[in-house]
Amino acid sequence: MQKRYYGVILKNKHSNSAGSKTIYSKTVIRLALLLPLISFITVLSFISAFQKAAAATETDSGGAQLKFYDDIKEHFFLGGEFFQKNNFNAALIEYNNIRQIDPAYIEGYIYTAKCYFNLKQYIPAAYYAGFTIHLDPSNQEAKTLLEEIKSAAPGTDYKDASIVYTLTEKDRFEEIVFNVYGSSLYLKPITDRNGGKKEFKAGERITLPLDLAIIEGVTKFKKFDGTTLQYDLEVLKESILGQKEVNIKDTDSQALFDISDEYFKINRTYKALVVFEKACYNDAEFIKKKDAAFISKALSEIKDNIKKEPKKSGWYFYLAFLQFVEGNYRDSLSNFSYASSLGLESDLLQRSFKYSMLCKQYIKTLEAKEIEKDAILKASADASLSNKIAEVIKQTNEDADIKTELDGGNKAGESGDGGASATGENADAEAQPPQDFNSMTKEQKMYYCYQQRKAIDEGVQKYNENNIVEMNSETFSFQKLRDAGYMTTDAKCPDGGSYSLNHNGFAQCSEHGL
């Protein structure tokens, strides 16, 4: 579980209000300042793994490099994630943690100010913008933010290490003090600083001094260097994503797909590929959601890895998978077979067998379609194709080349008279019934029913590829195929026949058979 630091530096009850630096317990402050050292010793071995990246420059002219505490990097990274998602309350926790661990980091103040500003809590926003300017007088970002705060909350200003604010009728002095300092223990010293009044009225100006005790003993202030920190942030996010991945169920394809996308965003292409394959293995629908840039980069990396390690079976497995995703089933089958022969681990071996089986099915389907396409086009070229049969083929066949040929050479989406024809993702995916079955010849009806059975076979095949419990003669249902998106309408036989699956799982018609 991620560490959280909610420590509060307590006020010394016996101190007077003479100076803001002397109203806190120095013992507690020193203990608070020692916490980073303890954390550093604990995580020293982890930090040393990327010393070059985990560094930031000091604000002085010396330019010496300072090592980041690993937990500060984590809070800085998570705070940025929350901030980008407009979850400013969660981001505040992370930036508060940075100040608790090490009050020397400017980001613990300026980003806290930004969070409060976005939450429209302008007085705390002004307080931390002013604190940033106190630590870094040349910080233009804080100065710009302070001007925006003045515009949004007239009567607010920063002077002499204090926020000056003019009360409105809605303001309560006690509430303002608590919101700014985070504790009611500050009420008495801040009240004394403002004349010790028991009641404050609208229109009165109050002063909220910076709590300089939290930076007592800090002699140099630090900033994160975004360029040198980038690698560290990627390593950190990779670690966080790895923890999330461990907690994902193997069957949760959507979660795996999402994690894959996150890995790719931080340039962990191979890890993204491994998780993406798991998602697709569980549910082939995720193949359709592939990102072209990801697939291209993954292919390039896998091929480079094969050049370096030409006998590593895992590289060929993922090469075959990427080829499978791209629909290159012949090369995919070849590489799956090669990977299996080289020797895959049991889990990948089982996956390889399934992909190989699917490749064979797809190759047969493609070859069958090519044979059928060639025959239809040849018949059309030989002028031996009946016009009536041609009409049914145009209605039922989804191949664009065949439609173009039978339509007199017009491209898909054009009609013979120059008008647009019906188009859409599923416009030709299934046979659409002609307006009048009674006007069809016997041959037209037979061909039409044949195409209906093909549509059923293809729908059942896709259903069985993506479901653990396959559809068979006893469980066949148009409703299931429609619900899964593999058919949009029920198939209809021109002669009124009913459709079912035979014992081998193929569609059959009570009137026209297989």
Per residue in 307-341, pLDDT (tens digit) is 999 888 889 999 999 999 998 888 888 888 888 87
Is residue 42 one of the residues assigned to a domain? yes
My answer on whether 258 and 186 are in the same domain is no
Start-to-end C-alpha separation, the chain: 61
Range of the domain at 61: 20-215
Is residue 34 one of the residues assigned to a domain? yes
- Annotate 200-262 with three-state secondary structure: CCCCCEEEEECCHHHHCCCCCCECCCHHHHHHHHHHHHHHHHHHHHHCCCCCCHHHHHHHHHH
My answer on whether 129 and 166 are in the same domain is yes
Per residue in 442-490, pLDDT (tens digit) is 777 777 887 888 889 888 888 888 877 889 888 998 888 988 888 888 8
User: At 72, which CATH number?
Assistant: 1.25.40.10
- Asked whether the predicted pLDDT for residue 113 surpasses 90, the reply is yes
My answer on whether 88 and 126 are in the same domain is yes
Structure tokens, 501? 């699956």
**Percent of residues in the chain assigned helix, strand, coil, to nearest 5:** 60, 5, 35
How do beta strands 156-159 and 162-166 pair? antiparallel
**Angstrom distance (rounded) from CA 80 to CA 38:** 25
**Angstrom distance (rounded) from CA 69 to CA 46:** 10
Look at the chain and report how many structural domains it folds into: 3
Element housing 473 (H / E) = none
Q: What is the pTM of this model?
A: 0.42
Mutual orientation of helices 26-42 and 88-101 as an angle, nearest 10°? 100
My answer on whether 62 and 135 are in the same domain is yes
**Angstrom distance (rounded) from CA 368 to CA 431:** 19
- Asked whether the predicted pLDDT for residue 34 surpasses 60, the reply is no
Percent of the chain with pLDDT over 90: 21
User: At 324, which CATH number?
Assistant: 1.25.40
Is residue 237 one of the residues assigned to a domain? no
* Structure confidence at residue 428 (pLDDT): 42
My answer on whether 287 and 201 are in the same domain is no
Is residue 97 one of the residues assigned to a domain? yes
CB atoms within 10 A of CB 198: 6
Per residue in 130-185, pLDDT (tens digit) is 999 988 888 899 999 999 999 999 999 998 889 999 999 999 999 999 989 888 88
**Neighbouring-strand partners of residue 166:** 205
Is residue 98 one of the residues assigned to a domain? yes
Residues contacting 8, CB < 8 A, separation 6+: 182, 183
Is residue 220 one of the residues assigned to a domain? no
Structure tokens, 6? 């909610």
Is residue 224 one of the residues assigned to a domain? no
Higher pLDDT, 52 or 96: 96
My answer on whether 390 and 315 are in the same domain is no
My answer on whether 409 and 272 are in the same domain is no
My answer on whether 198 and 69 are in the same domain is yes
My answer on whether 404 and 315 are in the same domain is no
Element housing 275 (H / E) = helix 269-282
Q: Which of 317, 332, 364 is the last residue of a domain?
A: 364
**Residue given tokens 């407009």 in the structure block:** 86
How do beta strands 162-166 and 55-57 pair? unpaired
My answer on whether 205 and 253 are in the same domain is no
Per residue in 210-219, pLDDT (tens digit) is 888 777 666 6
Element housing 156 (H / E) = strand 156-159
My answer on whether 73 and 190 are in the same domain is yes
Residues contacting 123, CB < 8 A, separation 6+: 153, 156, 163, 165, 176, 179, 180, 208
My answer on whether 81 and 180 are in the same domain is yes
Is residue 79 one of the residues assigned to a domain? yes
**Angstrom distance (rounded) from CA 253 to CA 282:** 6
Structure tokens, 444? 């037209």
